[in-house]
């Protein structure tokens, strides 16, 4: 099943009175269960593509469908619902809520879905175990290492069982050993849950781990290699 499909996708920004062409006619398709990296230097357009696929920004031209829905045709309310139910996000800065505990950060997306208390507790507890954070449920982000915080972010993304997880430079703030552990964790979760992972990265370690690598430069796809 196709999870994300971009056809002649363009994105332009205004910057200091000039137009920046962040994406220039991108054609890409990602299937269910893929573990793919979109790679390229800073300013290449890789993060822009993730933001569009995650319904966080609007397109300038072409089309992009997520879960079979053309997001340019959806209302703001429908886009928010799509993000809430079908898409998980992992960011390089973790984006955890500092005043909440591990379990509260992870369960927060479930409370937005209106699930019952028992199901929220069960899913949250399972997610904590899956990412190897047993015994840390009551800790707050400031009491944890960067790698542990990223594990919380992964659990938060996975707990609602999304069809798609978008990871924007997820290893950028981690040392190489911790980064590899995080990648191996995400790869294991990809295999067990069948969730589609798409990364934006310039980290060679992420590219080596991915089963597909799309190279983007100056807003255009340079290569698309399946290993």
Looking at the chain, how many residues does it have?
A: 227
Q: pLDDT band at residue 131, thresholds of 50, 70 and 90?
A: very high
Residue where the block lists tokens 């971009």: 6
pLDDT given for residue 15 in this prediction: 80
Q: What's the whole-number mean pLDDT along residues 87-93?
A: 89
Yes or no: say if 116 and 192 are a contact pair by the CB < 8 Å rule: no
For position 122, what pLDDT does the model report?
95
Asked if residue 215 has pLDDT above 90, the reply is yes
Mean residue pLDDT of the chain comes to 93
Q: How confident is the model at residue 210 (pLDDT cuts 50, 70, 90)?
A: very high
Both structure tokens of 71: 């997001």
Does pLDDT of 135 surpass 90? yes
Which positions ≥6 away from 25 have C-beta within 8 Å? 8, 9, 10, 62, 220
- Looking only at the bridges linking them, the beta strands covering 87-91 and 69-70 are unpaired
Confidence band for 220, pLDDT divided at 50, 70 and 90? very high
Structural domain range at position 8: 2-226
Task: State the residue for tokens 């590899």.
Answer: 180
Number of domains in the chain: 1
Q: Does 173 or 97 have the greater pLDDT score?
A: 97
Q: Distances in Å between the alpha carbon of 103 and those of 44, 83, 116, 157, 161?
A: 36, 21, 16, 13, 16
| For residue 8, pLDDT beyond 90 | yes
Q: What is the pTM of this model?
A: 0.92
Q: Specify the DSSP class assigned to residue 181.
A: H
pLDDT of residue 92: 83
pLDDT of residue 91: 86
CA 34 to chain centre: 13
Question: Per-residue b/e over 175-199, b at no fewer than 16 CB within 10 Å?
Answer: eeebbbbbbebbeebbeeeebbbbb
Rg (CA), the chain: 17
> Which regions of 16-129 does DSSP assign to beta strands (E)?
18-31, 35-39, 61-66, 69-70, 87-91
Burial of 206 (0-12, 13-18, 19+ CB in 10 A): buried
What CATH number corresponds to the domain at position 24? 3.40.50.300
Alpha carbon 111 to chain centroid, angstroms: 20
Render the burial of 48-82: b for 16+ CB within 10 Å, e for the rest: bbbbbbbbebebbebebbbbeeebeeeeeeebeeb
Q: What is the pLDDT of residue 37?
A: 97
- Percent residues over pLDDT 70 in the chain: 100
Residues 22-47 have pLDDT tens digits of: 999 999 999 999 999 999 998 899 99
- The per-residue pLDDT for range 148-188, each reduced to its tens digit, is 999 999 999 999 989 999 999 988 888 999 999 999 989 99
> In DSSP terms, which residues pair with 91 in a beta bridge?
168
């Amino acid at each position: 099943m196709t999870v994300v499909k971009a056809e002649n996708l363009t994105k332009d920004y205004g910057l200091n009175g000039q137009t920046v062409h962040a994406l220039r006619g991108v054609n890409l398709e990602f299937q269910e269960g893929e573990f793919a990296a979109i790679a390229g230097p800073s300013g290449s357009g890789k993060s822009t593509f993730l933001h569009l696929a995650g319904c966080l920004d609007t397109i300038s031209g072409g089309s992009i469908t997520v879960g079979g829905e053309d997001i340019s045709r959806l209302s703001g309310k429908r886009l928010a619902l799509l993000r809430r139910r079908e898409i998980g996000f992992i960011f390089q800065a973790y984006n955890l809520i500092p005043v909440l505990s591990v379990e509260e950060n992870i369960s927060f997306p479930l409370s937005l879905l209106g699930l019952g208390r028992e199901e929220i507790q069960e899913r949250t507890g399972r997610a904590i175990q899956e990412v190897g954070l047993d015994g840390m449920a009551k800790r707050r982000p400031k009491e944890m290492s960067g790698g542990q915080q990223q594990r919380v972010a992964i659990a938060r993304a996975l707990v609602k069982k999304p069809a798609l997880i978008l990871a924007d430079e997820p290893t950028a703030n981690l040392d190489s050993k911790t980064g590899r552990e995080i990648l191996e964790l995400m790869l294991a979760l990809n295999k067990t849950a069948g969730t589609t992972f798409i990364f934006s990265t310039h980290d060679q370690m992420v590219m080596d781990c991915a089963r597909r690598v799309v190279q983007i430069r100056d807003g255009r796809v340079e290569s698309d290699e399946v290993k």
